[in-house]
Amino acid sequence: MNYPPKIHQDTNREHLLEVIKNYPLATLVSVKDNEPLITHLPLIIREEDQKLIGHIDIYNPQAELLKNGNAVTVLFYGPQCYISPAVYTTSQLPTYNYIRVHLKGTVEAIESVDALRDSLISMTEFLEQPDQKFVLERDNPKMAHYINYIKMFEISITHWEGKFKLSQDKKPQDMENAKQELIRSSQESIQKFLDKILR
């Protein structure tokens, strides 16, 4: 693949797994009758076989497509921000830096209620890290009620693609400055955005 440029392609599986683990809210894309169906939901990677595990509301129209080895595309979004030329020590143009992981795979429905319950508990344990202030017990009455409205699925990944645009084509100091700008901007933009929409 010639695009994006190879310098912005990351094929290191460990790097891609780190994005998936740290930014688990994925965009799941299926296609039906030439129309995309898109859902945003957390997906957890199962270490032993590197399958993605997820759960979906039975009333979500995409749920009926998450079975029988159907093809899906999954997008994970790492940090992103605008990079001003002002952060560089050399003359540059404005750009945008970001980390993305694009996956393709096939999906199978898991019909076992016990497997679904175990999976909900495991996902909660993972998402509660590192402090785990809440434990989802097997006999939780709310889970017992809502479990009938949830479907579990597994995605076997057939294609991995990392898109890491982090000013790798710049001088070392400029690349470091862009990294610090990504850290600073990500923290500040979240604060400003939430203050604006939640006031």
Give yes or no for a cis peptide into 85 (omega within 30° of 0).
Answer: no
Is the pLDDT at 20 greater than 80? The verdict is: yes
Domains and CATH numbers, the chain: 6-197 (2.30.110.10)
pLDDT by residue (tens digit) across 133-151?
999 999 999 999 999 999 9
pLDDT by residue (tens digit) across 69-128?
999 999 999 999 999 999 999 999 999 999 999 999 999 999 999 999 999 999 999 999
Q: What pLDDT does 1 receive?
A: 57
Beta-strand (E) ranges in the chain? 9-10, 25-32, 35-42, 44-46, 51-57, 70-83, 95-110, 150-165
Q: What mean pLDDT value characterizes the chain?
A: 95
The model's pTM is 0.93
Backbone angles phi, psi at 40, to 5 degrees: -105, 120
